[in-house]
Structure 1
Amino acid sequence: GVMVRADVTKEIEVRTIIPPEIEKLPWAGHIGIKLVEHVIPIIENSESTLLFTNTRAQCEIWFHRLLDQAPQLAGTIAMHHGSISRELRHWVEDALYNGELKAVVCTSSLDLGVDFRPVDSIVQIGGPKGVARFVQRAGRSGHRPGAKSKIYFLPTHSLELIEAAALRQAIKDNYLEDRVPYFLTHDVLVQYMMTLAVSEGFDEEAVYKEVISTHAFADLTREEWEWNLRFITSGGTSLRAYKEYRKAVVEEGKYSVVDRRIARRHRMSIGTIVGDHMLNVKYNRGKTIGSVEESFISRINPGETFWFGGRNLELIRIKEMNAIVQNSKKKSGRIAVWGGGRMSFSSNMTEMLRYKLNEIESGSIKDVELLKLKPLIDLQQERSHIPSMDELLIEYFETKEGYHLVFYPLEGRLIHEGMAHLIAYRISQIEPRSFSMSFNDYGFELLSDAPIPIQEALESDLFDETDLLKHVQASINAGEMARRKFRDIAVIAGLIFRGYPGMPVRERHLQSSSSLVFDVFEDYDPENLLLRQAYNEVIDHQLEMVRFRKLMKRLRNQRVVLSRPEKPTPFAFPIMADRLRQRLSTEDVEDRIARMSIDYTD
């Protein structure tokens, strides 16, 4: 193929909405909504404005707060996110296209794939987590040859001012992320082969040459191809006894589907878009407390605890689409997270963030955002340390809550989540400990009610890459993660039928059916390619093991700075505040964190 790329540099102007006052102990979301009065003039002085948020809840909050502060905007602003009905989303898109709306508060639902006229101004509320996402959103304005794109960055807490400076630097250097492709997705290949079979049929040799010419299947072996052929004709080794899995037949050298029922079911199931599903959180006696995303609950082993709705709950078991729990008296537990809260820094973003922190540490500050952060920077330096590019900062201190161990790898939330479990596991091998964990894009916290043997852990080569995958799988419930991943693979591959229009199969039945097939493959067909795909995608995409290994190698080569501050630092406080959000009720958490901020500022 030939790539055509225009030698044109797009000019993007980044303007940061600077808070009037900088809090020395920041916490996520605290100052964002207070800056609404600075956003209203942007909307009023522009013909059209898009305000991007990272979560649906944040989108709802900002829409209503804008109307509270500027009721004159009623009828000229709208909201757009994935939980809104399709009809309303289409109305908003049409109204935006026709110039009938002055502003739309939205999530990534308006990032791509929606056609409307270029808007005058873009406001990014909170960090976008990635450079390419920020540039894509900025490009919604000035969407004409030679026109300048203009985007406002509104921080939701003080540390996000560093992100603003990092984003501007990344845009200047054209340092955008690459898309990480999926390889050897056998579920997609099976669906493609079945689609050909239900139409005019296909010649296996011709299609094999076509498939291996693609990037995703360039490494597909002949044996793997023949496995896929056997799978669509007989169901493979473990399902050959069941007639419903014998879908395709070979007639006159072509693979085709002759059963009308099978063909109709396949046509109803074409597509590869799957979303995260919710699990009900229920007491053992049956009362439902609420719901969490399965990607969170699948990481928890039975007997472990997590905070949800102000309660500390112990997971008893996962049964179909229910997480069965009981109250726990333990003080430690993981923190429940939802989709938007799980968004994590890209590797490019983390590298630029470390670059800006290195500028702060070396005293070569030029960005207006970093100059504004001077009170926070001075307090961090006074109480602890600001790491340079070749340093790893670890803080260890005690409060009324217990003993806090905070690491700052600066590698993004998802990597920090996996690393928190790994470090907790390795420390527990030295001396048994129970930990509560919390993490954000800057670092992670391990909290224990007993002293933590951090010095012994560092001396035992805490960041050793030996048995890394084994230790990660031991610290995180990788088997359950693969089981949940397999459900989507089974749907795409046609192993599970989601139902006809208007008569969908209930989620618990889907999970029950896919779990049964998963167990059959585990016990009787461990080399099944769909089963292997489930485990590979957990390792490569959910745990990001390639990036994880690079991080561990970087940490081994960095100088560890173990700081023992007397009080929580500006870097540690937002991680602690995130943990408290799940342990306290909504009414109490804001006041509690505000009081903590006052106590620890003195």
Structure 2
Amino acid sequence: MTPLPPEFSDWFANRGWSIHPHQKEMLDRAQDPSLLLIAPTGGGKTLSGFLPSLIELADGAHEGLHTLYVSPLKALASDIKRNLRTPVEEMDLPIRIEDRTGDTSYTQKRRQRADPPHILLTTPESLALLTSYEDAPKIFKGLQRVIVDEIHALEESKRGDQLMLALGRLQTLAPNLRRVGLSATVEDPKAIAHSLACHPEPCDILYADPGPDPDIQMLTTEEHPPWAGGGAAYAIPAVLEEVKKHKTTLIFHNTRAQAELFFHNLWLANTDDLPIGIHHGALDRSQREKVEAAMVSGDLRAIVCTGSLDLGIDWGDVDLVIQIGAPKNVKRLVQRIGRANHRYNAPSKALMVPANRFEVVECLAALDAVKEHDLDGDPKGPGPRDVLCQHILIAACVGPFSADALYQEVTSVGAYSALTRAEFDDCLEFCATGGYALRAYDKWKRLLEKDGHWQLRDPRAARNIRMNIGTIQDTDTLKVKFKNAYKPIGEIEEGFAATLTPGDTFLIGGQIVRYDGMRELTVQVTRDAAKKPKIATFMGTKFATSTQLQHRILRKLQTGNWSNYPQHTTDWLTLQTRHSQLPEADRILVESFAHDARPHTVFYGFAGRNAMQTLGLLLTQRMEEQGLGPLGFVATDYATMIWSVSPVTDPAPLFEPQGLRDGLDTWLSGNAVMKKTFRASATIAGLIERNSPQARKTGRQATFSSDILYDTLHKYDPNHLMMQITREEAMRGLVDFGRIEEMLDRTQGRVDHIALSRVSPLAAPLLLEVGRVAVHGEGREQLMEKEAAALMEASGLNQIDTSPSKPRWRVGF
């Protein structure tokens, strides 16, 4: 047992605290090479991670960097620095604490490299950049501990892969380095531990007392939720009543667009002038910081927000969390719930507000999962090779390296532990020459081998490599400014800006602004007094419901016991059983009916939004081949609806697995999805530079150059490393074909086809869903031909040849 030094035990006693059991065990096991702590929100995870470091540094004997803290968010690193300084200052410890993020000044970054603090708080991107400098061995030679906070959030993206590769490099520079991971919401602790470990050494897992279950339920409203939509405007009176009852309420949304709309409607209904704010990643940093400061000081009663406030930042006295819309992911819901009553062994309080009638079922399924502590998450595949290519270039920036030594270092990282030497050499060859089709161009000849070591062909290339470090691929955005203003108010997607014409009004930062024009790649706006914007708001990403939550929804639909459901939902599902039937997990339900004089077919797959969108693309292609003339489709998390010239009479052959796979290959080969995926991976791998000493490329410039590269490789070197990576990323990302295959596996060709005289209750929301995709093929030409013939017949005209030339089948988003 490691005793707590007197000054630390006195500090705990003076604050009326006692050390938690898991904090004591973390102290006892401070010398473990790697350790993962899973503790509830408010359980003192951060202090658990830092307590051994503070004790080791208390005597002032250590010089240079001792502990590195890595956070997913710059704001979280800043918050931790503020909280960590409290014990350091109150115990008068000789410890210097600093942060290093994208917001840190150039002067301070230079000083940190020459004279590192004892504790440095940073992000994966800043750490990767720091490891690229020639003096990295000097900076990290005395490093003793690395603390990775909210490790589950990093593990879900390529940022986590980048971080773990950087830790592999740090382990080489500081062989006695100890690793600590902290998280409150982990669905697969063993997988996280495997990622955190320095292989072949294992990583142990320490579980803290989980504390009481959260107090979570659905919000009761007088008005019924609508059949479709995601805004939940119907619930605003009830939400306002809850805000009045509590000190500070966080109102979470799944997208920035939904947050903007809800905040606008909430503000209009806020007749009591309660102080409320809005917080999301598209707002300017100064705007976000104002809201954060107001939260800390307790000046706000409610904050409408997105994932920007998901993680472990301790913002003021939050005593209620409201989730607007179905959470789509149980783990995300639990993380958000934990923002309320951020204290040890204090139950979090949360309310869920379904945006529409179907989301009532999803919210109830999520409530069951939270009660059963059943978190969701898809297994993570092997480490992505585009991130590995970037890591190889980072290693070259430091100086000459041995391929054998770097391969050994990379395979000590969990996600890359199964990487073959041939796969590593392919990435090395790509970094050195650009690959077979590009080796003739000097631009991509970046490395050369000399005396058994690899190095940069031109040392000046290090600057460009450093400027493009990172894996975050933000949508191309443009700053939004008021005329004659110095600071921006936020940013909008470049694609959305392209749709605006002078006079259009839209929402940003909770206020309505009027678009006046573009100036130097900045959107110029003025305030507008309108009550409603002409265009709702800028674009936003929609989450797909997790596989595990979809399975729970299907089970709930089949129970037939809906006694705990709101009456309007019970009536809706009962009507569905009378009119048609409810979907089952091991069968695909297909409904056919006529609407607006057009045959409509609904396919219930419950595979998530991305997969159902892809299924719509593939099924319309199969229908085109059968001469059914598909005209368009729309997809949600649970179903795809297709309208066509001719009805579907036998849907089973449409789901033949090999036919769907072949259709996917045909569609992917020249589709915009592949080009978009290629652009992202090629940027990460260093094939495309977004930033240069001269200027940053615009989204259109990057798209143009990447499209040319993609077309070249597709034609002349289809097996190029970047083409392999692109297909892998597309399959598990935007296309999500793996979930279609999961659907095919569980249904095994079993299809129930029901012909209806009218739309079913479960299909009705699809008629109201936005995001319809038009199919441009023979069906549209047939429709035009029929309408032309009918027009001529009604006009008494002679027959005219209207037979179309056969177009190629294509679908556009």
TM-score, normalising length: structure 1: 0.79
RMSD value, Cα: 2.9
Distance change in 2, residues 1:82/1:569 (3 Å): same
* Contact kept? 2:243, 2:249, Cα under 8 Å: yes
Distance change in 2, residues 1:582/1:537 (3 Å): closer
Aligned to 1:454: 649
How many pairs align? Answer: 519
Aligned pairs for 1:54-453 (under 5 A) are: 54-73=254-273, 76-112=275-311, 114=313, 116-117=315-316, 119-257=318-456, 259-277=458-476, 340=540, 342-360=542-560, 364-369=561-566, 371-448=567-644, 450-453=645-648
Aligned to 1:571: 762
Distance 1:515 1:391 in 2: 40
The offset of 1:63, in angstroms, is 1.4
Distance 1:115 1:216 in 2: 31
* Contact kept? 1:383, 1:567, Cα under 8 Å: no
* SS, match of residue 748 in structure 2: helix
Distance 1:477 1:516 in 2: 15
Match of 1:14 among 209, 212, 216: 216
* Contact kept? 2:323, 2:352, Cα under 8 Å: yes
1:8 maps to amino acid: D
Distance 1:495 1:354 in 2: 44
2:227 maps to amino acid: P
Q: 1:123-163: per-residue Cα shift (whole Å, max 9, x none)?
A: 11111111111111111113222111111111211221111
1:261 maps to amino acid: R
The offset of 1:273, in angstroms, is 0.6
Distance 1:230 1:565 in 2: 59
Unaligned runs of 5+ in 2: 1-201, 479-492, 498-536, 775-813
The higher radius of gyration belongs to: 2
Distance 1:119 1:82 in 2: 20
1:394 maps to amino acid: V
* Contact kept? 1:22, 1:375, Cα under 8 Å: no
Distance 2:209 2:691 in 1: 49
The offset of 1:116, in angstroms, is 2.9
1:409 maps to amino acid: G
Distance 2:662 2:429 in 1: 33
Q: 1:445-465: per-residue Cα shift (whole Å, max 9, x none)?
A: 1112x331323x43xx33222
The offset of 1:16, in angstroms, is 0.8
Distance 1:227 1:392 in 2: 42
* Contact kept? 1:396, 1:403, Cα under 8 Å: yes
1:392 maps to amino acid: I
Q: Say if 2:664 is the partner of 1:472.
A: yes
Aligned to 1:553: 745
2:325 maps to amino acid: G
Aligned to 1:535: 727
* Contact kept? 1:292, 1:338, Cα under 8 Å: no
Distance 2:693 2:221 in 1: 50
Distance change in 2, residues 1:519/1:561 (3 Å): closer
The offset of 1:410, in angstroms, is 2.3
Q: Say if 2:247 is the partner of 1:47.
A: yes
Distance change in 2, residues 1:168/1:478 (3 Å): farther
Distance 1:478 1:178 in 2: 31
Aligned to 1:600: none
* SS, match of residue 159 in structure 1: helix
Aligned to 1:513: 705
Distance 2:243 2:689 in 1: 47
* Contact kept? 1:342, 1:414, Cα under 8 Å: no
The offset of 1:478, in angstroms, is 5.5
Distance 2:665 2:221 in 1: 43
Runs of 4+, deviation exceeding 6 Å = 580-583
2:686 maps to amino acid: G
* Contact kept? 2:254, 2:325, Cα under 8 Å: yes
The offset of 1:215, in angstroms, is 2.9
Q: 1:303-347: per-residue Cα shift (whole Å, max 9, x none)?
A: xxxxxxxxxxxxxxxxxxxxxxxxxxxxxxxxxx99646322110
Distance 2:772 2:632 in 1: 13
1:2 maps to amino acid: C
The offset of 1:416, in angstroms, is 1.3
2:241 maps to amino acid: P
Distance change in 2, residues 1:497/1:128 (3 Å): same
Unaligned runs of 5+ in 1: 280-289, 295-336, 584-602
Aligned to 2:61: none
2:257 maps to amino acid: A
Distance change in 2, residues 1:120/1:497 (3 Å): same
Q: Say if 2:201 is the partner of 1:4.
A: no
Distance 1:35 1:126 in 2: 11
Q: 1:51-109: per-residue Cα shift (whole Å, max 9, x none)?
A: 011222221122122222224345x2111122211221222223323333221101122
Distance 1:476 1:243 in 2: 30
Identity of aligned residues (%): 29
* Contact kept? 1:93, 1:114, Cα under 8 Å: no
* Contact kept? 2:220, 2:238, Cα under 8 Å: no
The offset of 1:474, in angstroms, is 3.2
Distance change in 2, residues 1:409/1:476 (3 Å): same
Distance change in 2, residues 1:18/1:582 (3 Å): farther
* Contact kept? 1:183, 1:216, Cα under 8 Å: yes
Distance change in 2, residues 1:463/1:581 (3 Å): closer
Distance 1:385 1:414 in 2: 25
Distance 1:478 1:55 in 2: 30
Distance change in 2, residues 1:108/1:339 (3 Å): farther
Q: 1:493-516: per-residue Cα shift (whole Å, max 9, x none)?
A: 222222347821222221222222
The offset of 1:582, in angstroms, is 9.0
